Amino acid sequence: MPEAENDGRFRVETFLNGQLVETMDMVGPGANIGGAVDSVRVGEIGPDGRVGHWSSIPLSSP
């Protein structure tokens, strides 16, 4: 059975030195990342609540 299409919900997790700092669920393509973090990973949330297709994003130092 094919998986249902993503409805625009994403889980965003922020990390500092490999340690989880914050987890937030977002609707839409934008997220404001505050605080001292050095990487982010984003995963789509399916209609059934499962999170998958994670993408890691390293952040640049200011």
**Residue-wise pLDDT tens digits, 20-33:** 999 999 998 777 88
Would you say 40 and 23 are in contact if contact means Cβ atoms under 8 Å apart?
no
What are the residue boundaries of the structural domains of the chain, listed by start?
Answer: 1-28
Is-contact 37 59, C-beta < 8 A? Answer: yes
Closest alpha carbon to 40 in 29, 62, 30, 20:
20
Q: How much is the pLDDT for 61?
A: 53
pLDDT at residue 62, as a whole number: 52
pLDDT band at 6 (very low <50, low <70, confident <90, very high): low
The set of residues, in sequence order, having a beta carbon less than 8 Å from that of 43 and lying 6+ positions away, is 10, 11, 13, 51, 52, 53, 54, 55
Q: In this predicted model, what pLDDT tens digit does every residue of 46-59 receive, in sequence order? A: 888 899 889 998 88
